[in-house]
Amino acid sequence: ELNPKWSTPYRNLAKMSLIDRDVPGAVDVLRQGFENTNDLTLAVELAGHYERSGKTGEALALYEKLLQERPNAAVVKNNLTMLLLQGKPDQATLDRALELSKEFAISENPIYIDTLGWVHYIRGEMSDAVTILERADRGKLKLPDISYHLGMAYYKSGRNQEAREKLEQALEYDRG
């Protein structure tokens, strides 16, 4: 109440709601916080809650709004790209996903590199997918999604032993 433009209290209130298993309450707090502060972190958290609760349309609309307001925000491009790849995207959607993620080719962030590699995988461009996903996998950040994506690219490329190793690694990360 004293400073409605300060984003930290909104994040903390949302976390408290989640601890109480009040997801709608957390979403309301994040929505109100974003409206009051225009804080990108709150918006991305809100979109993530939309995604996890199956409100893909609302997540897409929020990411599109954020992209218009912040055309250089890598996290927005990354998350929107991954959302566009869900289901069975048409060619125009695949082209847009590639356009949104192409700048990740020079990124050092393994998550962004992984997104670009996954775009190539979904597009059926296995040579590019493997090369890019191997680069993401070499990073210090070890995530099951990266191992899974590389394993699938290896599999589609006929590299079955390497695919098995990466897919098993993804399962180990998930268990660990």
How far is residue 34's CA from residue 37's CA, in Å, rounded to a whole number? 5
pLDDT tens per residue across span 62-101: 999 999 999 999 999 999 999 999 999 999 999 999 999 9
3-state helix, strand, coil in the chain (%, to 5): 75, 0, 25
Q: What is the structure's pLDDT at 11?
A: 87
Q: What is the structure's pLDDT at 176?
A: 58
pTM for this prediction: 0.89
Low-confidence residues in the chain, pLDDT < 70? 1-2, 174, 176
* Total number of residues shown for the chain: 176
Residue 85 and residue 97 in contact, taking contact as beta carbons nearer than 8 Å: yes
Which residue's structure tokens are 């925000």? 73
Q: What is the structure's pLDDT at 118?
A: 98
Residue 63 and residue 76 in contact, taking contact as beta carbons nearer than 8 Å: yes
The distance between the two most distant Cα atoms of the chain, rounded to a whole number of Å, is: 60
The three-class DSSP label of residue 15 is: helix
Q: What is the structure's pLDDT at 174?
A: 64
